[in-house]
Chains A and B, each alone.
Chain A
Amino acid sequence: MIQLQNINFSYHKGRTIFDDLSLSLEGGHIYGLFGKNGAGKTTLLKIIAGLRFPKSGSSTTLGQRAALRKAEMLKNLYFLQEEVYVPAISIRDYVKCYAPFYENFDNEQFEEYLHLFEITSMDDKLTALSHGQRKKVIISFALATNTKILLMDEPTNGLDIPSKGIFRKIMTMAANEDRLILISTHQVRDLHCLIDAVVILDNGHILLNASADDITDKLCFKITDDTGTDEPILYCEENLRGNLLVTENIHHIETKLDIELLFNAVMLNKERINELFNAKN
Chain B
Amino acid sequence: MNTKNIFNLIRRYFIESGRKDITTFVLIVLTITLISFFSVSGSISDSLMVFLLFLMGVVYAGRIFNIFQPVGRAIHYLTIPASNIEKTIANGILVYIYYNILLIVALLLGNFLGGMAHKLLAPEFHYIFYMPFSLDNLILTLVFESIFLFGSIYFKQHAAIKTALVLLAFFLFFIILDTTLVGSYFIHSNPESIKEAENVFNNINGDLIEYTVSILAFIFFNFMTWLRLRETEA
Contact = CB atoms under 8 A, between A and B. Distances in A.
Interface residues of A, number: 29
Interface in A71-123: 71, 74-75, 77-79, 81, 83-85, 87-89, 93, 96-98, 100-102
A164 interface: no
Contact of A75 (B12, B78, B81, B230): B81
A84 B81 CA distance: 17
Nearest to A94: B15
Nearest to B70: A85
Interface in A228-281: none
A97 B12 contact: yes
A83 B72 contact: yes
Interface stretch (B82-90, B108-116, B168-176): B82-90
B124 interface: no
B73 A85 contact: yes
A169 interface: no
A70 interface: yes
Contacts of B15: 89, 93, 96-97
A70 B83 contact: yes
Contact of B75 (A77, A85, A93, A100): A85
A225 B67 CA distance: 57
B43 interface: no
Given A51-B78, A100-B8, A101-B5, A69 B16 contact: no
A85 B72 contact: yes
Interface residues of B, number: 25
Contact of A89 (B16, B76, B79, B233): B16
A234 B86 CA distance: 53
Contacts of A85: 70, 72-73, 75-76
B231 to A, nearest CB: 8
Interface in B103-149: none
Contacts of A75: 81
A69 B11 contact: no
A214 B79 CA distance: 34
Among A84, A89, A102, the one with the most B-chain Cβ atoms within 10 Å of its Cβ is: A89
B8 to A, nearest CB: 5
B22 interface: no
B177 interface: no
B172 to A, nearest CB: 31
A63 B118 CA distance: 66
B80 interface: yes
Contacts of A206: none
A34 interface: no
A85 B78 CA distance: 12
Nearest to B20: A88
Q: Which 8 A-B pairs have the closest CB atoms?
A: A85-B72, A74-B81, A75-B81, A101-B81, A85-B76, A97-B12, A71-B83, A51-B234
Interface of B: 2, 4-5, 8, 11-12, 15-16, 70, 72-73, 75-76, 78-84, 86, 230-231, 233-234
